[in-house]
Structure 1
Amino acid sequence: MAPPAAAGGPSASSSGAPEAPHHRDVAKRGRRAGAGARLLSLGVQAAVMAAALALFLLFAAAAAVFLLSLLVSARAFRHHGSRYRVPPDASASSSPPPPLLPSVGLSTADLRLLPCFAYSSCDASSTSSSSPRLCAVCLETARAGERWRALPACGHAFHAACVDRWLVRSPACPVCRAAVAVSVR
């Protein structure tokens, strides 16, 4: 008996007879199985590459959103101080700037018309309580020789400098909110 022929090689028989049909089917099945495995391998590789690309794009989008939020917040903080400033203008230097807020308090001329007095130690003894007088604006006690101002409508008294700063902003007593009216002499 003759040994079997190698797959794909010449037949072992010396007669030159064609291969058996069984051997041809096995060879075709082997080539089909190899093509299917290669096709499956290419499919898996394509799926892995698509997943890797999707992850890369996801991280790139997240990084872009993060950087954009940093940029917006940096711009907001950088321009925070200058947002309300008036830009310099050549024509503004020749004329005085307009007042930022309308005057709601008393003018300096009105403040000069309000009565002032020098605080003395005998003023403290004339008050109903034994405690020294306290300025309700700055919360400091009165000392002899300081200049105080008594408001005409309610009689409350304060350091003159403290109540003047208050009255420029608001024409009312800091304690009782009584309107401060200036008498014209």
Structure 2
Amino acid sequence: MAPPAPAGARELAAPAAPALPPLHDRDVAKRGRPGPRAQGAGARVLSLGVRAAVMAAAVAIFLLFAAASAVLLLVLVVAARAFRHHRGSRYRVPPRGPPSPPLRAGLSPADLRRLPTFAFPSPPRDGDGAPSQCAVCLEAACAGERWRAMPACRHAFHAACVDRWLARSPACPVCRVAVAVSAR
């Protein structure tokens, strides 16, 4: 190993490289390339252009999805309204020919008169099977009221209450057994 050189000798051994002056716009003409200032302005303009293009693309994509969502929502609303009112729709074609009479689902007034009735006994009893409450109107039974018993299941109700029920549905309001009217 070589002994260390004195401080003054080191400066003489390695001459310093000449420092280059900074590049300016006037140096562009001499060397043929732009200086840092000219290059920075062009890069800024290019960067702003790229940013504007990216933002325009992002806004266009957002508007495209918003428009597609609006169209899809409109289709769903129209379909929901069409399916919700499909039975009673005002857009259905009416049937041809004379109108058919309404279908009668319950018992006729003549059939209702053939069903047996009875006067409710004086004290309402609950323990021996006699009804103490009408299952149609949920009112308590009173002595002397007219009640009607169903022939098949023997459930009993106020005559007026069960007659309205049987005019719409020919089944017992409690157990849904079909009410059979006997011919007298």
Q: Which residue of 1 aligns with 2:19?
A: none
Give the residue type in structure 1 aligned to 2:49: A
2:52 and 2:115 map into 1 onto residues whose CA distance is 86
Q: Which residue of 1 aligns with 2:143?
A: 144
Give ranges in structure 2 of 5+ residues lacking alignment.
1-24
2:159 and 2:142 map into 1 onto residues whose CA distance is 13
Q: Which residue of 1 aligns with 2:133?
A: 134
1:84 and 1:69 map into 2 onto residues whose CA distance is 25
Give ranges in structure 1 of 5+ residues lacking alignment.
1-6, 9-21
Q: Deviations over 1:97-133 (max 9, x none)?
A: 553xx544333332222122333525x259726x961
Equivalent residue of 1:152, what SS? coil
Report % sequence identity: 45
Equivalent residue of 1:149, what SS? strand
Q: Which residue of 1 aligns with 2:161?
A: 162
1:136 and 1:152 map into 2 onto residues whose CA distance is 16
Residue of 53, 56, 75 corresponding to 1:53: 56
Offset of 1:136 from its aligned partner? 1.5
Q: Deviations over 1:137-158 (max 9, x none)?
A: 2222112343321111222100
2:59 and 2:91 map into 1 onto residues whose CA distance is 48
The list of structure 1 runs, each at least 4 consecutive aligned residues, that deviate by more than 6 angstroms after superposition, is 76-81
What TM-score comes out, normalization by structure 1 length? 0.59
The within-5 A match list for 1:70-81 is: 71=74
Q: Which residue of 2 aligns with 1:30?
A: 34
Residue 106 in structure 1 maps to residue 107 in structure 2: yes
What TM-score comes out, normalization by structure 2 length? 0.59
Given the superposition, is the C-alpha separation of residues 133 and 106 from structure 1 closer, same or farther in structure 2, using an over 3 Å criterion?
A: same
Give the residue type in structure 2 aligned to 1:174: P
CA contact (8 A) 2:147 2:157 kept: yes
Given the superposition, is the C-alpha separation of residues 86 and 40 from structure 1 closer, same or farther in structure 2, using an over 3 Å criterion?
A: closer
1:152 and 1:74 map into 2 onto residues whose CA distance is 51
Task: Give the RMSD, CA atoms, in angstroms.
Answer: 4.3
Equivalent residue of 2:33, what SS? helix
Give the residue type in structure 2 aligned to 1:105: G
Given the superposition, is the C-alpha separation of residues 23 and 77 from structure 1 closer, same or farther in structure 2, using an over 3 Å criterion?
A: closer
Given the superposition, is the C-alpha separation of residues 74 and 144 from structure 1 closer, same or farther in structure 2, using an over 3 Å criterion?
A: farther
1:24 and 1:132 map into 2 onto residues whose CA distance is 117
Give the residue type in structure 2 aligned to 1:44: S
1:134 and 1:32 map into 2 onto residues whose CA distance is 102
Offset of 1:76 from its aligned partner? 6.8
